[in-house]
Structure 1
Amino acid sequence: MGYSIIFNDRSVGDDLNNYFIDDESKSLLYFPNSNKINIIVGANNSGKSMFMRSFMCSDIVGIDINKFEEYNTALLKAMVYIPRNINNLLDVLEFEKDVADKVKNNLDVINGIRHNLPVEKYDDFINANANLIKEFKNVKRYYIPTLRTAHSLFKLNNSVYQKIENDIFLETLTNYYKLDKKKVDVFTGIHLYKEILNSRNSKREIRESFEKFENFIGRYFFDNKKIDIVAEFNKDESLAGNNNLENICVHIEGEKDRDLFRLGDGIQAIIILMYKIFMAEDNSLIFIDEPELNLHPGMQRLFLEQITNNDDLKKKNLTYIITTHSNHFLDLTIEKDDVSIYSFTPKKTKNVEKQFSIKNVNRGNNKLLKELGVNNSSVFMANCSIWVEGISDRNYIKAFLKSYCDSTKKSYPKEDIDFAFFEYAGSNIDHYIFDDKAEKDDVEVILKDINSLAISNRIFLLADSDASEEDISKAIRLKGLQDAENDNFIPKIIWNVREIENLLTNEMWKAILIEFCNKKLVKSHEKDIFLKIEEALAEVKYSDYAKKYVGEFLEEIRNKMGKISSTFILNQSTYEVKSDGSFGTIINKRELSELVFNQNFSWEVLSENKEIETLTTEIYDFITQKN
């Protein structure tokens, strides 16, 4: 989304006046740095839900904060050329409720006296004006509250169960919170039966959206089988006055039909959430209170991955505003680029109405997550765990597993259900493996702790050999870890390479090395650079550097590729250059791992390295308990 939201209208009451950005003295004027997914966190009674309800019912406008200063600068430069009697009609922008009107007025004035402006000044202003404002007047808004269910509701009347026709959840919410139903489509799930009935009998585009929803449910909950979700209806009984008939049924290809009310609470919960999202109009705002309700951590991951990565949903260009108490849900956002997190806390005030402070936490700032206790919260709720040093190892393993499963037509294990990752960097196990000062007592304590943990959660621990050939004490510790293997604890030491990055083959480097080249040279000489990468990799083999730092491999590639216009093509800043002139590891390990993950390498390419093939099959067999 990339906009800061300005609240134009406080007609929903004065609730927004009780919110403050950080330590600002003025009450909330705008909601900063909004993204495709905006997650609001905070303790109970920290103002999250009240803020969301005010947000969804307010008139809002978005301003691209990155273009805001550029706009004002272009306007001031243009104003120099405008007659004095016109100047008072032009406004330098500030974050305030009528900013959209000022932008429109400024554009009208500038266009009206365009002949007074040098062409370049006019063009600068028009460029800065473009896409500065995002209007939300005609954008559909959907709200999924905590008060929700997948069931129709019934009451007992003279020994007969009769359906409650009214959406009493919606009526309750409207009574308490005065929701503006003209602005917001509130979905409690109570009328899910009618919605499904209407969706299956509506115009083509709505039916297609519903089919995509069915495909999603079939893929993730019914082994990728073709399913039909049907609102069953008996016309004759209905005409006879029997309204105790509503039933949602899942017809599964080759299997017995399933009634929705007989499915698990988790599947019902995900159906409520995903149905409305799949059926939402394009470009809509989706407000969700605590999506984690009744969802296992694996289901929470599935939900987040769908709203970020599902191709059908991405085409809809939806924006999500979500409140959550789930540590696990927050843990997952560390991996995402299109997520903004907002921490809500009560302000300490005296003799005034309760007030709240909002902090925006940018990607890469994990301080808030640590304060909230977010730390691999699903590890011991999954069937087993894969312990890796950090997120880069995690990305490699996921890339390898996905490619292996695609190639062999095997089902990809469900993360946080079948397995969960645990990043041990910074924990005692990291200290034990990598710290030269680790004592013998540390070793015994760590191994004892691992064995205790493995009783309730099978553990596969991955560690690379790093400098073990130069560091005898580290080699001994790794050997001790390996000797501690038992049925529930499988330590995998990659002895044949220095780091996991050394597993990358020439074919893999060929696809990603362009990302580490000089951007200006790539822009003007892209084809030549691809050719030079190919030629350099024909002379330098990754396997010759298995026990060396990746930087040594890349330095050799850099020299082979050479220069264009006296500038080296490959950036040396990609890897460590030590004071003694030697070369170390890759600097941004995460970036490299994400490049590998996003390339979706075929198993044919990956399995060229037998180390990758062995490691991947061992992990897959461990997860699926084929040991």
Structure 2
Amino acid sequence: MTEKLYYWAENLEGYNSDIDNDFPYSIEIKRLNFFIGKNNAGKSRFLRNLFINSTHTIPDFSFPNLSNYFTELKSIIESSQGTIWLGAMSSGENRTTLFKLINDAIDCPIFPRNRYKENYQRTIDQLSKVRIEYTQEFTYKVSEIQKYVNDFENNIVYEKSKSYIPILRGMRPVTEQENTQPYIKRAQKDYFSDTNKFNSNNIITGECLYNELKIHLLGEPEQRELIKDYEEKLSQYFFDNETVSLIPKHDQDVVNIKIGNDQQFPISQLGDGLQQAIILTYEAYIKSKDKEGKPETHAFFIEEPELHMHAGMVRQLMNFYLNETPHYYFFTTHSNHLLDMADESDQVMIQKFVKQPKEEDPTKFDFKIYRCDRDRDLLASLGVRPSSVYLANCTIWVEGITDRLYITKYMEKYLAELESADMELYKKYRRFMPNYHYTFVEYAGSNLSHWSFDDDYPKTREERIEFLKQDRGQSATAVASDMLLIADGDIQKNSEKIKFLRKELNKENLIILDCKETENTLPKDSILRVAQKKFSNMKRKTSQGFNIEKLEGINSLDYFDHKDYGIGKLLDDQIRNPRTSAEKTAFADGTGVGTIKYKLDFCREIIKYFDENPDWEMTPKAKDLCIRIFKHIEKCNSN
């Protein structure tokens, strides 16, 4: 069964996607889908066309290609000698008829995907009536195809409805006329001529929130409980755990809000960013379950979710969508702060739009869609300059991207454990948002000497000139706020660097791992499972001389917790056959200290293992690291 999902619309002339040759004229999608590109690159029009024109569901466009199965059926017929029966009829023409039926299925274009699915269903219905004398192989293969498709249908989620959230949105009435919704009317006039089909039922602008809250709070107990649950989630994600109450006050036309022990006040006195957060999360949360309390999936098409929001709050909004709702989301965005989510979650997809003149007529344009993760062109599409601006209240310095990804996962796990072990501390820590309360800074270990961590960095121009003459490095405090620097244990071998760091950083601002590197703090089971998977995909030339089954002989939980060697060497030492040269490696990146090969690929596999096995346990060193990090964040964000 395909693990990938695809989506498109029936009327998308001028748009072209070269993402996957097997699925032409479609885009691969995940839970969060970001459309980026320069202004006038066609993002918004594409988003609206997906919303307006697609009468089919995500599974329709993701239906698997069955050509290989039909080819196998053709081979079975070619090798068989028995009479072919079509239902109750046997005829010498049946073999020719069957060949034509299967060839048509093989040659059937797989786009549009929904038509391919319809053709398949007709074909398989006819094939299920076929019987070939002296063999059951054909019948078994047809049943196998049917089971494959049934499994796909049973495991894939169908979106129940679609909703569009335009840029023009707000919770405050902009007219004195009662029962009017100017934002929705404007959206209808600009984009949706069929007002019977596109209206307040599927266009979300925030104007209906007052009445929506009134209906729920004056409705059934289950409706009131749903609003209470939503208020708790708002508190958790956007209001630093302060109790939040939303009140459709009877003598006003605007929602009131009460936060903690503060007095109740109209929503108009709340910051625009938080109003946006409520508009963008209310409908998504309310629609997350059906009347029986079972998860219910919808699709949301959202223009510029980052409007009026701090970068950290936008990230928190995306975490809300991923953690608290089952829906699929499609966004147009110019926010570079969302890009690194592609590294942190396998449920994020970024598509870049490029407007290109047509070769035959330069006055007309095609819109090309490219899948991308992190590249310079992507940043340029968002208008991001090479310079970095740190807006968070504190920074955590790590040696590279893999350290950041591992530590981010550790922090998530630590919070999950705190929820059952220490609720008060959990409530205190869960409010901390990436890129707002803290952010990561990635450095290369060898570059540390180029930075000065001295708080007394010169302020005046003359002092700076004199400082630079001393070649003491660039000021870290000039580009980043309160910092916690995490260094790999192998730095211990460089006494000068250790001396330099301890001189310029306070003890509480420096963590030197008591092992070679961050990978040595990973739990044993995760390393073993990923290593086994990686080994099975190695070329024979690489894996020859090693026996992966020897990994099962590792009984010590701290086998990989080593001061001098990376997990690559520790893996090789365990699985190397007695006669295999010590110079030959399977996992280690060379014969030195044994850092794992292809660190980022290995890291992604580890994170995937964590996501698929939520019961994984942190090592003591990983937990201690989290404790230090959260204490640093708490200190830097205390009032």
**TM-score where L is the length of structure 1:** 0.75
Going from structure 1 to structure 2, the CA distance change for 1:255 and 1:40 (only over 3 Å counts) comes to: same
Going from structure 1 to structure 2, the CA distance change for 1:96 and 1:383 (only over 3 Å counts) comes to: same
2:581 matched residue in structure 1: none
Select which of 221, 234, 246 maps to 1:229.
Answer: 246
Deviation of 1:267 after TM superposition, in Å, equals 1.0
Select which of 285, 299, 304 maps to 1:290.
Answer: 304
Deviation of 1:126 after TM superposition, in Å, equals 1.7
Deviation of 1:459 after TM superposition, in Å, equals 2.7
**1:95 match: secondary structure:** coil
1:167 matched residue in structure 2: 181
Is the Cα contact below 8 Å between 2:30 and 2:348 reproduced in 1? yes
2:116 matched residue in structure 1: 99
2:161 matched residue in structure 1: 140
In the alignment, structure 1 residue 85 sits paired with structure 2 residue 90: no
Q: How does 1:58-207 map to 2 (within 5 A)?
A: 58=53, 59-62=55-58, 68-69=64-65, 71-79=66-74, 81=77, 83-85=95-97, 87-88=99-100, 90-92=104-106, 93-97=108-112, 98-113=115-130, 118-130=138-150, 139-154=160-175, 162-178=176-192, 180-181=194-195, 183-184=197-198, 185-202=202-219, 206-207=223-224
Q: How does 1:92-491 map to 2 (within 5 A)?
A: 92=106, 93-97=108-112, 98-113=115-130, 118-130=138-150, 139-154=160-175, 162-178=176-192, 180-181=194-195, 183-184=197-198, 185-202=202-219, 206-234=223-251, 245-252=252-259, 254-280=261-287, 282-310=296-324, 313-314=325-326, 318-349=327-358, 350-361=361-372, 366=375, 368-372=377-381, 380-399=390-409, 401=411, 406=418, 409-410=424-425, 411-412=428-429, 413-425=432-444, 429=448, 447-454=473-480, 457-466=481-490, 469=493, 472=494, 475-485=495-505
Select which of 42, 50, 59 maps to 1:47.
Answer: 42
The 1-side partners of 2:263 and 2:442 are apart by 42
**1:547 match: secondary structure:** coil
Matching residue's letter, 1:141: K
Deviation of 1:335 after TM superposition, in Å, equals 1.4
Going from structure 1 to structure 2, the CA distance change for 1:514 and 1:86 (only over 3 Å counts) comes to: closer
Matching residue's letter, 1:476: E
Going from structure 1 to structure 2, the CA distance change for 1:367 and 1:88 (only over 3 Å counts) comes to: farther
1:497 matched residue in structure 2: 515
2:603 matched residue in structure 1: 590
2:545 matched residue in structure 1: none
Going from structure 1 to structure 2, the CA distance change for 1:614 and 1:534 (only over 3 Å counts) comes to: farther
Matching residue's letter, 1:452: A
Q: How does 1:2-21 map to 2 (within 5 A)?
A: 2-8=4-10, 10=11, 16-21=12-17
Deviation of 1:356 after TM superposition, in Å, equals 1.1
Is the Cα contact below 8 Å between 1:249 and 1:257 reproduced in 2? yes
Is the Cα contact below 8 Å between 2:530 and 2:605 reproduced in 1? no
Matching residue's letter, 1:462: I
Deviation of 1:375 after TM superposition, in Å, equals 8.9
Identify the range of structure 1 (415-424 vs 212-221) with the bigger mean alpha-carbon deviation: 212-221
Offset from partner CA, 1:185-234 (integer Å, 9 cap, x none)? 00111121112112334456655543332221122344435543221225
The 2-side partners of 1:320 and 1:259 are apart by 30
The 1-side partners of 2:634 and 2:386 are apart by 22
The 1-side partners of 2:614 and 2:513 are apart by 26
Give the alignment's Cα RMSD to 1 decimal.
4.4
1:612 matched residue in structure 2: 625
Structure in which a larger fraction of residues adopt strand: 1
The 1-side partners of 2:20 and 2:624 are apart by 55
The 2-side partners of 1:442 and 1:596 are apart by 47
The 2-side partners of 1:613 and 1:36 are apart by 28
Is the Cα contact below 8 Å between 2:174 and 2:182 reproduced in 1? no
Going from structure 1 to structure 2, the CA distance change for 1:65 and 1:174 (only over 3 Å counts) comes to: closer
Matching residue's letter, 1:623: C
Going from structure 1 to structure 2, the CA distance change for 1:174 and 1:88 (only over 3 Å counts) comes to: farther
The 2-side partners of 1:113 and 1:353 are apart by 52
The 1-side partners of 2:603 and 2:228 are apart by 37
Going from structure 1 to structure 2, the CA distance change for 1:585 and 1:305 (only over 3 Å counts) comes to: same
1:34 matched residue in structure 2: 29
Offset from partner CA, 1:18-61 (integer Å, 9 cap, x none)? 11224999xx9632212222211111101111111111111235
Deviation of 1:77 after TM superposition, in Å, equals 3.2
The 2-side partners of 1:138 and 1:500 are apart by 40
1:238 matched residue in structure 2: none
**TM-score where L is the length of structure 2:** 0.74
Is the Cα contact below 8 Å between 1:249 and 1:260 reproduced in 2? yes
**2:490 match: secondary structure:** coil
The 1-side partners of 2:469 and 2:130 are apart by 78
Is the Cα contact below 8 Å between 1:461 and 1:492 reproduced in 2? yes
**1:386 match: secondary structure:** strand
The 2-side partners of 1:443 and 1:141 are apart by 62
Identify the range of structure 1 (489-498 vs 44-53) with the bigger mean alpha-carbon deviation: 489-498
Matching residue's letter, 1:300: V
1:240 matched residue in structure 2: none
The 2-side partners of 1:596 and 1:85 are apart by 49
Going from structure 1 to structure 2, the CA distance change for 1:555 and 1:179 (only over 3 Å counts) comes to: farther
**2:309 match: secondary structure:** coil
Going from structure 1 to structure 2, the CA distance change for 1:166 and 1:625 (only over 3 Å counts) comes to: closer
The 2-side partners of 1:500 and 1:442 are apart by 33
Identify the range of structure 1 (218-227 vs 610-619) with the bigger mean alpha-carbon deviation: 610-619
Deviation of 1:519 after TM superposition, in Å, equals 9.2
Deviation of 1:246 after TM superposition, in Å, equals 1.6
Going from structure 1 to structure 2, the CA distance change for 1:467 and 1:417 (only over 3 Å counts) comes to: closer
Give the share of equivalent positions with the same residue, in percent: 23
Is the Cα contact below 8 Å between 2:37 and 2:334 reproduced in 1? yes
Matching residue's letter, 2:14: N
Offset from partner CA, 1:258-301 (integer Å, 9 cap, x none)? 33221111111100000011123622111111100011011111
The 2-side partners of 1:177 and 1:67 are apart by 30
The 2-side partners of 1:321 and 1:32 are apart by 12
1:509 matched residue in structure 2: 524
The 2-side partners of 1:614 and 1:23 are apart by 42
The 2-side partners of 1:491 and 1:261 are apart by 41
Paired residues, number: 556
